[in-house]
A and B are shown apart, each in its own frame.
Chain A
Amino acid sequence: MPTDSNINHSHSGPYHEERRMTQQSVQIGGTSVPESHSTMSRRTFFGRTAQVAAALAVAGVAPEALSGVAAAAVRPRAKALTPIEVQLNYELNIQFAGDMVALAEGYYADQGFHVSLVPGGPNIAPEPVVASGKALVGITHTTEAAQAIVNGADLKIIGAGYQKNPFCMISSGKTPLKTPQSLYGKKVGISASNSTTWDAFCAGAKLDVSKIDVVSTSFDITSLASGELDALMGFFTNEPILLAAQGFKPYVWLFADFGYPLMEEVYIAQTSTISSPSGKAELVRFMTAEARGWARQVKTPSLGASLATNTYGKSLHLVLEEQVKAAQAQNALVVSADTAAHGLFWMTPQLIAETMKSAKEGKVAATASMFTNEILAAAYAGGKIS
């Protein structure tokens, strides 16, 4: 049994030897963590310091269970790495390609982090996990983040992974439903975790929801193929590509093109982290690594696709060819004229204003103060990454 949760995902043996020597790791629950963190975490169990919580979380991870994907370092490093968690809103697929690249290529480690990418699923919301301090950063849906802030979460949005709203409506190529209004009288599948976004879109597109037969689906596109549903709300990089691969010809339109522009896959962090100098420094370092990972991914879409298929998402039985297609489609959402001008994840005043308008139409009272480019500005101080 490996004694370090890193081992499962790391490529190099010597690194571990070195790390063990330099950090004097101790054994807790089958994993090892740096001594300073482990003793501290015992004293302040459930303390809300991000670092402590993260160290504790690492301690609680059994190697076999791989509940988080730990940093895979590729080069030896003398400096101790700070363990942090990043809470994702879904399982590790192409959607998090840039993160996987940053992990595999050691960009996080370059910034002094031992990152655990904590996969999400249909039942998780990243906001409470970040608000509690367990994760330093979360990746989540914009309206959900805004709603959480409205409901008292002390969070801020520090960057947008997608410049363009990736949500789309998929119908059969044989009987395409080409506009929002054409959904009237039809059975439309919306998963519970997408419903906030859907409500906002309906308001933005001035749709009368009562005329649409909304069915809750659990990420289930089978029902579209089976004809039980007439249309399905999906993710531009997921369902259309899967359906096409299954021989089903989908007709797809983006929410963004029908009165619902929105940044998506936003990065959230605690306001208190942003306002503390040390916290801000950590976020800046993290976002620098993140931007490097995504910049690399944008240039070589197959890299993240291969990492998702063969390394981090192995259990998901992903198909490389589909993941590459998804990665290519994804680039259109990640890069834009704005990111070319200001760097990846940048939120221009116009994008923020559009997002606020879209969110407000969905009764989510997003305000400009929920967004800040402060971290990105500092990260790109020495030159933008795009």
Chain B
Amino acid sequence: MNKPRLIFASALAAITTIVFVVVITVWAELSSPLKDWLKNFSGHHWTSKSIFSALWYVVATAVLYFVYRGQSENHVRAALVSLLICTVLGTMILTTFYTGHHFNIY
């Protein structure tokens, strides 16, 4: 097993998972058909998001590990820094979104 490549694949997969969660969460709040579809898929919209985000992370890690073979040491570090930034941004975006939603700003 190539461990730096696994770290790189996991970091990129985690970034795409965070982006996926943020996008589908905001989208579903603004689109009733999507939220209804998520509810109907598993019985609860959050359960569906949990299932899809876990599957997304596992599949993305596996695909990126086997597909992307050209990562350098700098790429691994850049992926981990990006993951830290995406985590903070994702948390801020969701907090801001639900705050605005509560106060009927949109």
Report if A and B associate in a common complex: no
Chain B residues within 8 Å of A, Cβ to Cβ: none
